[in-house]
Amino acid sequence: MKDENEAIMSALNTKIEDLKGELVVCKAIMGKRVLSATLNQRLMSPNQRSLKEQGLRRK
């Protein structure tokens, strides 16, 4: 029973470490997307932003 518990704990610890790595990658990707969206909003003039929100601006 003790050996089984140790094996399960080892497998769980390995999985946790894998998930932590995936989380770091996801955070980096989302951070870049948020930064990009923020920069795009700041670069748009107020008039462009208003037209885009109203759906009047050409795509």
Task: Answer with the residue of higher pLDDT: 9 or 34.
Answer: 9
Number of domains in the chain: 1
Give the domain range for residue 40: 2-54
Task: Answer with the residue of higher pLDDT: 41 or 13.
Answer: 13
pLDDT beyond 70 at 32: yes
Say if CB 49 and CB 41 are below 8 A apart.
yes
The sign one gets for the Cα dihedral 13, 17, 18, 19 is positive
What sections of 1-59 are H helices per DSSP? 2-43, 46-54
Q: Please report whether residue 59 resides in a domain.
A: no
pLDDT band at 45 (very low <50, low <70, confident <90, very high): low
pLDDT at 57: 52
Q: Please report whether residue 32 resides in a domain.
A: yes
